[in-house]
Structure 1
Amino acid sequence: MLPTNIIAKFRGSLLACTALLGMSSVTIAGDAPSVLDIQHWETEQGAQVYFYPTSNLPMVDIRVSFDAGSARDPEALEGTAALVSAMLTEGSDGQSASTMAYRFAELGAEISTGVGSENASVRLRSLSQSQYLNPAVSLFNKTLSAPNFAADTFEREQRQQLQSISARQQSPRALAIDALREVMFAGHPYAHPTTGTVESVERITLEDVQDFYQRYYVAANADVVIVGDVDRNQAEALADSVLAGLPAGQAAPALPEVSGLAESFVKHVPFPSEQSTVFVAYNGIARQHEDYFPLYVGNHIFGGGGFASRLNAELRQKRGLAYSVSSFLMPMRAGGVYAMSIQTRNDAVKEAVALMQTQLQAFIDQGPEAEELKDAIANITGGFPLRLDSNSKITGQIGALAFYGLPLDYFDQYVDHIRAVDSTAIQAAFAKHIDLDEVAVIVVGPEAPEQP
């Protein structure tokens, strides 16, 4: 266990710096952020590096992202990617997890890992002074390049992942999301839960974990994002130091395109509760699609804008069918989903589903009203600077830009893209991409829904 005085000392120092200097590294002019002058290069091993310098806080954030999410899980071994991610911080270079954690804490540095359907990431936050940054990067490198993958650690992490899967069975929202992916991505690597299933995780061996790591945790399969108080020369040296010891390898091949629904589908997940969790889902688009912005703005108006959205007005405020109802885009590299979501009384499921579909039909037929569009654009553009108001947020946003292959000037053009959306573009995009005759209704609750 780490000494609390060490943890308090460094966390207190970082919080004090944050409060005094602020975390924003973007100058706000009017209601739009200035250009994020993102620098990009490729290392000799084939890694893609994205660098944004800041000088208002003596900190550096480094994120290394691999195309190693659960979509890369071997067949029948779903959950492997999650196990690999969890084990990276469980000891490296022959040193225990507690020793590594202690050494990071001594330097005032923080390390974390994460994994999703599409990628896995490892992040470091450190003070930028060389006496802290250099040894922190060395430890970070060992985490990436020399994980212990000890047998006892594997068994413990495997048990914990099985417990996590069991815990998801008690959450109707989690069950609904898993069912949504299963139906909308049927036959595709996106279809299974990131943590896998009980059966698949029990089949995974330590050798499977090591094989996955060796295939996907390679330089050519990595994006490196560096944001903080360093210059270009330092950033280049940091990128090389972070990746040292990793083989060049090869980038993961592109995933097949999502085929999507070909006909309407109903899936009922029995769950004893007084309310049902419902998704009404349609085929969507990939993140890189040219119609992303009209769909994004249109969704904000229709159901993504909170209490101001049409769905909320019609189903919550007028009819009291739910406290919360919404819609969302799920755009990914190889395809996507557009869905509406509601939690409602069991006896109101049929009415709620019909009303959501009726509202979507009307939105496609008529498009948004001028005042709705004006308010949505003002809300989206007004809130955009908050997505870039800290080094950590900038690191995450650049990481997404890198993974989805968006242009380097994406953030500079973002507000203009939003403001360029008009009612005609929204109506055309919704009519083009959302086929109301191909719908999946997912209900987690005590009663099965009717076929749409």
Structure 2
Amino acid sequence: MLKSLVWKFMTDAIVPALAVATVATVATTAAVRPASAIEIEKVVSPGGIEAWLVSESAVPLVSVQFAFDGGAAQDPPDRPGVANLISVLLDEGAGDIDSAAFQEKLESLAIEMSFDAGRDTFYGAMQTLTENLDEAANLLRLAITAPRFDADAIERMRVQTESGLRRELTDPNAVAGRLWSDTVFGSHPYGRPVKGTLETVAAITVDDLRAYHERIFARDTLKIAVVGDITAERLAPLLDEIFGGLPQTADLAPVAEATLPDGGMRKVVEMEIPQTVIQFGRPGLKRDDPDFIPAYVVNHILGGGAFSSRLYQEVREKRGLSYSVYSFLYPLDRAGLIAGGAATRNDRAAESLAIIDEEIKRMADEGPTAEELDKAKRYLKGSYPLRFDTSTKIARQLVEIQRDKLGIDYINKRNDLIDAVTIDDAKRVARKLYGDGSLYVTMVGRPDGIAADAKGG
């Protein structure tokens, strides 16, 4: 679903059961301080590689998160899926270590390593016990600088990817999400499926993989965060050891600003299922927009606040139409959007969508109430520390803060920015965000009374 695009960062390492328990226990106890008390240190290696460090010696764990600009938007236009395929191949052998031996080393040392391709960004993560840091650093170095891309590993991961794509052909959430992206972005790189298609994944060659790796994995777009049992003095040379072998400059293909459709539209894919999956959205804001924080607060009131949001109250609580209904801000490097979704019975789909339309238009016309704004601000400020309750979460947040160019002091001033949102700000931004209330809507199922392809309000 589109919601998964916002925070998609899972670990895939295979480790023994005892090691999993050990690492999981350490991970959940590593973040021992509230967000405002986290001390972030900028570390620069002898070779000029920068990382943000939160040193915490309470538990013997080191978590590394990093990101390169690029992502799926840098896939060859005729072969989407290259970045995604690379993300499952980097730990399938590197340097002089083949796939089986690489996986065995990760398992025996309880090292977690994972990679993920988003639309604009290629992410990586590594977590290790402190006693295994040297071995973990070497394996990570090999994975990002010298991946093998062996034929047998490529075919195994290709088959795995194709199997997932086949399942998605009958998954209404996946179908709705893909249709939504195609409808909104068209021929823009954002309109290409991140995982590719059965046809494009089958056509990807080892040359495609190597070309992408050589163009994207470079130091000039690299953002790194490290959290755990490591000092700045130890980290500085380690950064050169892991990342120093990368090229200095990436060779990114230019990506144009996305031109979003004017007005609303509704598209339906018929599928023999008892429920209709609804995905909706409209133009929104990029992360660097001065109104992003007020927009974030307003969206929390509309559909981002789980049990407290207007959409949840109107669609689920009062009418029981959907188990879940939500909205979120969806900022990309070349487009800003609002997105959301719900699932409901086919015979109630039109009613559910009408209520969503009504609530979005009401928010545009009236904005939130002072009481809603006060509650939203209290919740958003109070819940912020939950983003920092493990070493992995802290590192992930610090990478995103770097990518968004928010500054190393952002976590100390973020709640003040939330608190500064006034009712006038909220009403003004609600009008700016939701305008005439028109939506891009895709529906998968058999929604009663909704045309298969039509302009919508």
Change (3 A) 1:268 1:17: closer
Match for residue 403 of structure 1? 403
Alpha-carbon distance in 1 for matches of 2:269, 2:54: 46
- Give the fraction of aligned pairs with identical amino acids, expressed as a percent: 29
Alpha-carbon distance in 1 for matches of 2:20, 2:312: 41
Match for residue 16 of structure 2? 7
Structure 1 residue 256: Cα displacement: 2.2
Task: Establish whether residue 246 from structure 1 lines up as the match of residue 235 from structure 2.
Answer: no
1:36-51 alignment runs, 5 A limit: 36-40=38-42, 47-51=49-53
Match for residue 116 of structure 2? 114
Match for residue 143 of structure 1? 143
Asked if the contact 2:30/2:389 (under 8 Å) is kept, the reply is: yes
**Aligned residue type for 2:36:** S
**Aligned residue type for 1:223:** K
**Aligned residue type for 1:291:** D
Change (3 A) 1:360 1:13: closer
Alpha-carbon distance in 1 for matches of 2:356, 2:209: 43
**Aligned residue type for 1:83:** L
Change (3 A) 1:38 1:256: farther
Alpha-carbon distance in 2 for matches of 1:310, 1:15: 36
Compare 79-88 and 212-221 and name the one that shifted more. Answer: 212-221
Asked if the contact 1:35/1:409 (under 8 Å) is kept, the reply is: no
Asked if the contact 2:49/2:240 (under 8 Å) is kept, the reply is: no
Alpha-carbon distance in 1 for matches of 2:231, 2:324: 46
Match for residue 199 of structure 2? 199
Match for residue 179 of structure 1? 179
Change (3 A) 1:260 1:35: farther
Structure 1 residue 243: Cα displacement: 0.9
- 3-state secondary structure, aligned to 1:323: strand
**Aligned residue type for 2:279:** F
**Aligned residue type for 2:41:** Q
Query: TM-score when scaled to structure 1?
Result: 0.91
Asked if the contact 2:364/2:436 (under 8 Å) is kept, the reply is: no
Compare 10-19 and 407-416 and name the one that shifted more. Answer: 10-19
Give structure 1 regions of 4+ aligned residues with deviation exceeding 6 angstroms: none
Match for residue 24 of structure 1? 31
- 3-state secondary structure, aligned to 2:211: helix
Alpha-carbon distance in 2 for matches of 1:283, 1:16: 41
Alpha-carbon distance in 1 for matches of 2:430, 2:24: 45
- 3-state secondary structure, aligned to 2:343: strand
Compare 353-362 and 82-91 and name the one that shifted more. Answer: 353-362
Task: Establish whether residue 94 from structure 1 lines up as the match of residue 111 from structure 2.
Answer: no
Compare 371-380 and 251-260 and name the one that shifted more. Answer: 251-260
Alpha-carbon distance in 1 for matches of 2:250, 2:26: 41
Alpha-carbon distance in 2 for matches of 1:258, 1:113: 26
Structure 1 residue 224: Cα displacement: 1.9
Compare 352-361 and 102-111 and name the one that shifted more. Answer: 102-111
Match for residue 359 of structure 2? 359
Asked if the contact 1:321/1:344 (under 8 Å) is kept, the reply is: yes
Asked if the contact 1:50/1:398 (under 8 Å) is kept, the reply is: yes
Unaligned runs of 5+ in 2: 1-13
Asked if the contact 1:41/1:50 (under 8 Å) is kept, the reply is: yes
Alpha-carbon distance in 1 for matches of 2:340, 2:226: 36
Structure 1 residue 349: Cα displacement: 2.2
Task: Establish whether residue 335 from structure 1 lines up as the match of residue 335 from structure 2.
Answer: yes
* Aligned counterpart in structure 2 of residue 61 of structure 1, from 60, 63, 72: 63
* Aligned counterpart in structure 1 of residue 80 of structure 2, from 63, 78, 103: 78
Structure 1 residue 215: Cα displacement: 0.9
**Aligned residue type for 2:58:** N
Alpha-carbon distance in 1 for matches of 2:128, 2:341: 39
- 3-state secondary structure, aligned to 1:341: strand
Asked if the contact 2:357/2:437 (under 8 Å) is kept, the reply is: no
Compare 349-358 and 301-310 and name the one that shifted more. Answer: 349-358
Match for residue 10 of structure 2? none
